[in-house]
Amino acid sequence: MKKQFVFISLLCFASIASIANVRLPNIIGSHMVLQQKSNVRLWGWSAPSESITINVSWDTTTYKVRAGNDAKWLATIKTPEAGGSYSIIIKGNNTIKLEDVLIGEVWVCGGQSNMEWSGDQGLAQCKEEAPNANNNKIRLFYVPKSTSAFPQDNTEGKWMVCTPEEMIHFSAIGYFFGKNLNEKLNSPIGLINSNWGGTPAETWTPEYVINESTIIKKGADELKPTDWWPHKTALAYNAMIYPLTNFSIAGAIWYQGESNTQTYYAYEKLFTGMIDAWRQQWNKNFPFYFVQIAPYAYGNKNIGALLRETQTKSALHANTGMVVITDLVPDTANIHPVLKKEVAKRLSDMALNETYGDKKITCQSPIYAAHQIEKDKIKIQFTHSENGIVSKGNEITCFEIAGADKIFLPAQAKIENNGVIVFNKNIKNPVAVRYAFNNTAIPNLFSKDGLPVNLFRTDDWEMDTSPIKK
């Protein structure tokens, strides 16, 4: 009996000691990148009220923090400018040493399949790049697909040094975006890959955002379940975004929207609400750059164009930016355009210009600004067309014009003073113009800087979104 008592006592002691050990979330580990010149947070779990000390190799400060009665602790650490590698020693009941830590720029790569798509899906660009992907200054963290009804404190995953073997599994857009930043900034880059093919924006959005808006709630209620990805509110956010939000980042890139085309009317409010919720949780108004969805042959008329229109409106939201990719679509029957390297270039150009201040880089497509009706013609002005507009072809394509009868006919167009004049000889009193405003249009009007003019319409008339007959 005495031996049994001793054994049980030892077992209990071992169990208590194990529970008391300092633990870290998976996003904090060796090989990670911490955001430079910031007050970054390190956090974890331990015994309640346990004293934790943290020493970092980039300065001589000893950081001290005490766990709360909930066994959680959080410390704020100052980081220097980009560099490394460094080490971090965290001491409590046990000692954890983090090695090969870099200081640089950290970006989240979010969205659905066009952000997720990698060399695993057979992308030729990834296979060509892989032999050159040994880069110790790029670090990759892959968040596995997971859902939760409630916000989680941790996620699976591990920081990895970029190698051909790791890069081939990572977001192609994320990798090429990070490579471009690494080369231009001469800084370590940390990339957090958190995306899931097919997911609507609702599942990446906290529940309160959905419930506070009638129009967002209506769109969310109309989403149809599938066997392949979650559709309910906040499921991916709780498991794949919330656990990251103590980790300091420079910003986020995003490619999503295809699964919200049927509920395009709610997307602007939903999307900007999601962005604001992320920023609130991170406690930082970080830049959020996103890709406008590509032309694709959806099963209902015009829903792709209407979603792109709402994305254009979303780009007016503070500290956001949208890249247009209508010229990067070899096949409108493929919802996964293969030119990911070029998409990443436009995203990184936007980050380099808007976030890092390299104003020599052009990053904005021309966007409709205003129009003026002059007799039988309509003149269109654009923003971001200061250097001029050009057509890649003998004739400018994809313009339509209508009179008061609301019947659109193909239009001729000519460039004048960095804008466009649109007309049709059979319409003497034009009222409205549309440009590339359908699901599959691949127009040929560009800025002289090489960026495609964005789709637009000057009317707000109801559009046909009925199923396309086969």
With CA atoms as reference, report the closest residue to 382 among 292, 442, 453.
453
Range 200-207 average pLDDT: 98
Determine what percent of the chain is predicted with pLDDT higher than 90: 94
| pLDDT reported for residue 393 | 86
* Whether 184 and 226 share a structural domain: yes
Residue with tokens 């890649």: 392
Structural Rg of the chain based on CA atoms: 26
| Model confidence band, residue 394 (pLDDT cutoffs 50, 70, 90) | confident
| Model confidence band, residue 20 (pLDDT cutoffs 50, 70, 90) | confident
Structural domain span for residue 52: 16-103
Considering its fold, how many domains does the chain have in total? Answer: 3
Instruction: Say if 24 falls within a structural domain.
Output: yes
Instruction: Say if 271 falls within a structural domain.
Output: yes
* Whether 390 and 379 share a structural domain: yes
| pLDDT reported for residue 391 | 96
Tens of pLDDT, residues 57-111: 999 999 999 999 999 999 999 999 999 999 999 999 999 999 999 999 999 999 9
Domain C-terminal end among 335, 355, 375? 355
User: Is the pLDDT assigned to residue 261 strictly greater than 60?
Assistant: yes
Q: How many CB atoms lie within 10 A of CB 165?
A: 11
The CATH number for 32's domain is 2.60.40
Instruction: Say if 176 falls within a structural domain.
Output: yes
Instruction: Say if 278 falls within a structural domain.
Output: yes
Domain C-terminal end among 58, 75, 103? 103
Instruction: Say if 96 falls within a structural domain.
Output: yes
* Whether 127 and 226 share a structural domain: yes
* Whether 96 and 115 share a structural domain: no
Give the C-alpha distances (Å, rounded to integers) separating 199 from 195, 228, 248, 268, 467: 8, 9, 25, 16, 22
The CATH number for 293's domain is 3.40.50.1110
* Whether 308 and 256 share a structural domain: yes
* Whether 156 and 44 share a structural domain: no
* Whether 71 and 112 share a structural domain: no
Among the residues of 130-255, which ranges form H helices?
A: 164-167, 172-185, 207-211, 214-222, 235-236
* Whether 98 and 198 share a structural domain: no
Instruction: Say if 467 falls within a structural domain.
Output: no
Q: Could you tell me if 441 and 295 are in contact, meaning their C-beta atoms sit under 8 angstroms apart? A: yes
Instruction: Say if 9 falls within a structural domain.
Output: no
User: Is the pLDDT assigned to residue 6 strictly greater than 50?
Assistant: no
| pLDDT reported for residue 11 | 42
| Model confidence band, residue 19 (pLDDT cutoffs 50, 70, 90) | low
Q: Could you tell me if 308 and 314 are in contact, meaning their C-beta atoms sit under 8 angstroms apart? A: no
Q: How many CB atoms lie within 10 A of CB 345?
A: 18
* Whether 254 and 303 share a structural domain: yes
Tens of pLDDT, residues 293-322: 999 999 999 999 999 999 999 999 999 999
* Whether 121 and 74 share a structural domain: no
Residue 341: which residues within 8 A CB-CB, separation 6 or more?
A: 125, 129, 172, 176
User: Is the pLDDT assigned to residue 8 strictly greater than 80?
Assistant: no
Determine what percent of the chain is predicted with pLDDT higher than 70: 96
Do strands 95-111 and 189-195 pair parallel, antiparallel, or not at all (unpaired)? parallel
H helix count then E strand count, the chain: 11, 23
* Whether 171 and 277 share a structural domain: yes
* Whether 165 and 188 share a structural domain: yes
Tens of pLDDT, residues 114-160: 999 999 999 999 999 999 999 999 999 999 999 999 999 999 999 99
Domain C-terminal end among 331, 355, 379? 355
- CA 91 to chain centroid, in Å, comes to 36
Instruction: Say if 470 falls within a structural domain.
Output: no
